[in-house]
Amino acid sequence: MKGIVPSLNTPFDKDGAVDHVSLRRLVNHTIDAGCGGMLGLAVAGEHMTLTLEEKARFVEVVAETNAQRIPFIVSVTAPDKAASLALTKIARSAGATGICVQVPAAEDRHENLGFLQDLAAHAPEILMVQDLDWVGGGLPLDDIVCLFDTVEKFSWLKIETQQAGPKYSAVLQATDGALNVCGGWAVTQLMDAMARGVHAFIPTGIEGVYVAIHTLYRAGKTTEARALFERLLPILNFSNQHISTSILFFKQLRKAEGLFDTGICRTEDARFDAVQDVEARHAVSSALDLIRQCRPAARSA
C-alpha cells in the first residue's frame, strides 16, 4: 500500500439513509483514479453518526465492490473498546486488508498496548494506528516505538498532529523506516511529506489530482508536481478551515462529480452560511476543472 489512499465519504440519500449505490460508485471511482488503497469509516466518513449495523453494511458493500483490487482499511475507532473490537471482527470477516484505530495520547501506554493487542488478535493483515491530536503533538515517540516493537501487526501509523512533518521524520528514523508512515489532515504540507519519505497520504476527494502530483514527484518531476500542488492549495485553503467544512465541501464536490446523489451530511455543524456558500461554489468549480485536467494522468498512473 503506497501513494494516495483516500478517506471515503459516506453518502446519504435524500432521507438520510446510507446510499449504497453511490458508495459503490465511489469505490470504483477510487480504483479508477489510480489510488493505492482506501480508508472507510474515518472522520471524513462521519463514522460517529453511523450505527454499528450501518458500519457493518458499509464494510460489506465496499469490500464486495472492491473485490480486493486495492487495499481496503476500515477505521474501527468508536466510543468504546467493545465496539472497536466488534467492528474489527466485521472487517476481517468481510475480507478487508486492515483496520485503523485512534490511540489517544492521554491514555496510559500499557492501556494502549493492551487495547492494540486485543484488536490485533482479531484484525486482518494490517493494523494502522491513528495518531490524531488537533491541537498538540499526539503520541510520544517512545510510546510509538514501544507499540511498534510489541504489536506485530502494527505496521502503519497515520500521523495527524501539530508539526506533522518533523514527526514523520522522527518516527521513520526511530523505527529505521520499518514502520510505514502516512499523513492525512496535513495535506496542505503534501510536498513536505513526500520529501520526508512518507509512504502514503490519506486525503479526502480530488483523488486523481493527488495521484497526478504523487506520480510526477516519484518520477523526479518535482517542479511539475509542485506547480500542480500549488493549483490545488486555494481549494484546500477553503476546505480545510475546519473538519466540518471539509466534510460538507467534499460531499458537495462528490455530488458535482456525479458520484453522490446528494450532498447531505449527518454531522450537525456541517453547514455553510451565505458567504461560505459562494466560496464553496467557486472552490467546487475550480476543483472540477483541475480534476478534468488531471484525469488522463490519473488513468495512466
Task: Spell out the per-residue pLDDT of the chain, length 301, in tens.
Answer: 899 999 999 999 999 999 999 999 999 999 999 999 999 999 999 999 999 999 999 999 999 999 999 999 999 999 889 999 999 999 999 999 999 999 876 667 888 899 999 999 999 999 999 999 888 899 999 999 999 999 999 999 999 999 999 999 999 999 999 999 999 888 899 999 999 999 999 999 999 999 999 999 999 999 999 999 999 999 999 999 999 999 999 999 999 999 999 999 999 999 999 999 999 999 999 999 999 998 754 444 4
Please enumerate in sequence order all residues whose Cβ is within 8 A of that of 42, keeping only pairs 6 or more positions apart, or say none. Answer: 7, 8, 75, 77, 100, 130, 202
Cα 187 vs. chain centroid, distance in angstroms? Answer: 10
Whose grid coordinates read 493549483?
A: 231
Whether the Cβ atoms of residue 100 and residue 158 lie closer than 8 Å to each other: yes
Burial 221-232 (b: 16+ CB within 10 A, else e): eeeebeebbebb
pTM: 0.93
Angstrom CA distances, 140 to 118, 165, 215, stand at 21, 15, 32
Domains present along the chain, CATH in parentheses: 3-300 (3.20.20.70)
CA distance 1 to 58: 21
Beta strands in 17-97 (DSSP E): 38-40, 72-75
Count CB-CB contacts under 10 A for residue 111.
13
